[in-house]
Amino acid sequence: MYNVLLITAEREPNAALLQRLAEEEISYTLASNMESLPDTGPASSLDAVLVDLGTDDRSTLLPAAERCQGLHLPLLCGLPVDRLAKYTTSWGAADFFVVPPVAGEVTARIRQARQRASPDVVEEGENIEAGDLRINLDRYEVFNRGKKVLLTFKEYQLLCTLASNPGRVFTREQLLNQIWEYDYFGGTRTVDVHVRRLRSKIEDTGLTYIETVWNVGYRFRPQDAPARQA
C-alpha cells in the first residue's frame, strides 16, 4: 500500500515493527540516516519516512525532520511506551506511533499525515461504502443512512476488517489475532460478543451486513448479493 524509508539507529531493527509493516503491506528500505537519499529518484517514490527511536535519543529525528521538510515527505516517529510522555511536536515529526504498533496503526498514521500535508489528495480507500453504510477511515467515523453510529474502537476495527474484504470469510481465530492480538485471554467468544453488538448498531430487520458462516466465522456480505446465512 505504502512505500517508506525506515530509519533506525539501533544495530538490529525492531522485529515487531518490521513484522507489522509486512502485515500491513508497507514496503520499506532500511537506513541509518537520510544522508544517502537523493532529492529525486527514490525520494519521489516514498510516501513517508519512519524513524524508530527505540532507546536512541532524538538526535536521529532532528536531521531527518529538516530533510523531510525540504522533500515534502511526512515524517513519523516510532516511540516505545516509556517515551511517550517526553514527546512534543517540537521534535519535528508529523505524527508518532507506539512501538510495537497495533494492527493498522502505521497505515492510519501515514494516511493521516499525507492528508494533512496535501489536503487536496484523496487517498485510495479513504472511505468504505456499502449499501447505506459509510466508513470514513481518516476520521474513524461510521455513518448508517446518514446518521453517525457510535462504535467502540474494537467494534470499529472489526467492521473495517470485514467491510474491507467483502465476501471473504474470516475465522474467529483470525479476527481474534488481528484485532485483539495473539495473547488476548478472552477467547473466541469475545469475537461473537463484539459481532453481536456491532450488528445491533448497524443492522435493521431485513438489512444484513455481517453474515455468520456456521462453525467457521464471519464475512461481510457484498451488497449486490442476497442476504443469507451459510
229 in any annotated domain:
no
- CATH (domain of 43): 3.40.50.2300
- CATH (domain of 207): 1.10.10.10
d(CA 220, CA 215): 16
pTM: 0.51
Backbone dihedral angles phi then psi of residue 229, each to the nearest 5 degrees: -110, 120
Using the predicted structure, report yes or no on whether residue 15 has a pLDDT greater than 50: yes
d(CA 61, CA 9): 10
8 in any annotated domain:
yes
226 in any annotated domain:
no
Q: Are strands 141-144 and 133-136 parallel, antiparallel or unpaired?
A: antiparallel
- With b for 16 or more beta-carbon neighbours within 10 A and e for fewer, the 124-145 pattern comes to eeeebebeebbbebeeeebbbe
146 in any annotated domain:
yes
Domain boundary among 99, 117, 135: 117
Looking at residue 120, its pLDDT comes to 46
d(CA 107, CA 50): 12
Mean local confidence (pLDDT), 191-196: 92
Looking at residue 195, its pLDDT comes to 95
Using the predicted structure, report yes or no on whether residue 218 has a pLDDT greater than 90: yes
Neighbouring residues of 68: CB distance < 8 A, sequence distance ≥ 6: 34, 49, 74, 75, 92
Residues 135 and 109 in one domain: no
90 against 29, higher pLDDT: 29
197 against 10, higher pLDDT: 197
Residues 139 and 53 in one domain: no
d(CA 31, CA 58): 16
Q: Which domain holds residue 31?
A: 2-117
Using the predicted structure, report yes or no on whether residue 145 has a pLDDT greater than 80: yes
Q: Are strands 217-220 and 170-171 parallel, antiparallel or unpaired?
A: antiparallel
140 in any annotated domain:
yes
Looking at residue 219, its pLDDT comes to 92
Q: Could you give the percent of the chain with pLDDT greater than 70?
A: 79
Using the predicted structure, report yes or no on whether residue 124 has a pLDDT greater than 60: no
Convert the pLDDT of each residue in 65-93 to its tens digit. 777 877 778 888 888 877 777 777 777 78
Domain boundary among 86, 117, 148: 117
Residues 16 and 110 in one domain: yes
Using the predicted structure, report yes or no on whether residue 211 has a pLDDT greater than 90: yes
d(CA 105, CA 145): 28
Looking at residue 127, its pLDDT comes to 81
Question: What sign results for the dihedral spanned by CA atoms 30, 35, 37, 43?
Answer: positive
Convert the pLDDT of each residue in 148-192 to its tens digit. 899 888 899 899 889 888 888 888 888 887 787 655 556 778 899
Residues 75 and 134 in one domain: no
Mean local confidence (pLDDT), 114-121: 60
36 against 177, higher pLDDT: 177
Angle at 181 between CA 175 and CA 184, to 5 degrees: 100
Confidence of residue 229 (pLDDT cuts 50, 70, 90): very low
Residues 80 and 142 in one domain: no
Domain boundary among 93, 117, 141: 117
Domain count, the chain: 2
